[in-house]
Amino acid sequence: MSLFLILLAAGDSKRFKSSTPKPYHVVNNKTVLEHSLNSFKGIKEIRQTVIVYNSKHKKYLSKLKIKNAIKIVGGKTRQQSTFAALKKIKKMNCSKVLIHDVARPNPSKKIIKKIIKKIKKNNAAVPIVKVNDAAKRFDKKSIFKNIKRESLGFSQTPQGFKFNKIFEKHKEHINDTFDDDSALFTLYGEKVFIVSGEKSNLKLTNKEDLEIFKSLKKRETYIGIGFDVHRLVKKKKLYLGGVNIPFPSGLEGHSDGDAVLHSVMDSLLGACRLGDIGKLFSDKNKKLKNIRSTILLKRVIKLIKSKNFIINNIDVNVIAQKPKIKKYSKKMILIMSKLCEVNPSQINIKGKTTEKLGLIGREKAIAAEAISSVTKND
């Protein structure tokens, strides 16, 4: 099965009533579009993703670091946008396709996998949420009919289809309007299989929906603490926070001895419950001899991102009698923010002394302690 994913983000968001288009509103450091993308992350069956966007929103999309996705401009209607994506992938040996509204940024892996399983042997499958409340037919003034709710449901996305079937139906009805893609099958009396949808897979139509989504995305915060200390030795460069600081001695260690980055790595690994740098980067590993700690931090960030953790903030104390840290703290923050893939405002660095007490006070060593806060974006 060659499965493709189409993400529809080409609407004009008129009902949303905001200067920022709906797909680009930020919730928990990610846009609505990125949340939708993240929902499909790790689904191995998906071979390629196509994002259909509104040409007026190109400046918003260009700011996002979205890799391995085809991006195309949509049409004036949902129908035209979907067909544009279907035409794009027609020659790419696509056998099955998922079509999803970016305005539903919270589909669970469970729903996605159910749909994929259903379309392996069927032409169409849709998530349905049953109606639990009493259903009524009404006009502007009053109710005029009761409706039996037992056979009623709300359709959701992603919806899955056999590619050739959905392509031909969209081609035939390119200038028509339908509420969703499955309507093209029911129009001809063809069977559309259903899976159980979820209320949490809500559609963002107005700002009230956005507030509900924000509450759904609230996650527990995890805290980690890191500490590192190294002796100062002659004939070695001093690295702190990724910055090469002019100083007559550097920090002893198997790597470059960057106590700041070591403490940050340990705090992040601790917050994510992923061990420590000693476990990941053993000092018995000859390949790591004199390695820059910036390289090690990149590897840690890749690891915690693979586990869907998001960094909230990092706070660091650099404990040194000399050199004075204030002069270099801004540069450290810029380097660390790039390595950690966060905004510089999420990192804070402070310099402390020991008032000339102990090894640090006698300028024989430098230490660093860090506290990091993360959340998990499931």
Query: Does 29 share its domain with 103?
Result: yes
Whole-angstrom Cα distance, residue 299 to residue 318?
23
Mark whether 225 and 210 lie in a shared domain: no
Q: Are residues 21 and 126 in the same domain?
A: yes
Q: Is 88 exposed, middle or buried (0-12, 13-18, 19+ CB in 10 A)?
A: middle
Query: How far is 24 from 13, CA to CA, in rounded Å?
Result: 11
Measured from the Cβ of residue 250, the count of other Cβ atoms closer than 10 Å reads 22
Same structural domain for residues 190 and 162? Answer: yes
User: In sequence order, what are the beta bridge partners of 48?
Assistant: 4
- Picking from 216, 250, 277, the residue at the C-terminal end of a domain is 216
- Residue that is last in its domain, among 216, 248, 280: 216
Query: 153: domain range?
Result: 3-216
Pair 217, 211: CB distance under 8 Å: no
Cα(365)–Cα(342) distance, integer angstroms: 30
The pLDDT confidence band at residue 257, using thresholds 50, 70 and 90, is very high
Q: Is the pLDDT of residue 378 over 70?
A: no
Tokens of 336: 């660390």
Point out the domain boundary residue: 194, 216, 238: 216
Q: How many other C-beta atoms can be found within 10 angstroms of the C-beta atom of residue 357?
A: 10
CATH number of the domain where residue 279 is located: 3.30.1330.50
Q: Based on the fold, state whether residues 199 and 325 are members of the same structural domain.
A: no
Domain identity same for 38 and 105: yes
Work out how many domains the chain is built from and give that number.
2
Same domain for 80 and 190, yes or no, is yes
Residue 238 has pLDDT above 90, yes or no: yes
Question: Is the pLDDT score of 377 beyond 80?
Answer: no
Question: Quick one: pLDDT band at residue 151, thresholds 50, 70, 90?
Answer: confident
| Domain CATH for 147 | 3.90.550.10
Based on the domain organization, do 253 and 179 belong to the same domain? no
On the question of pLDDT at 188 being above 70, the answer is yes
Residues 230 and 325 in one domain: yes
pTM of the model: 0.64
Helix (H, G, I), strand (E, B) or coil at 247: coil
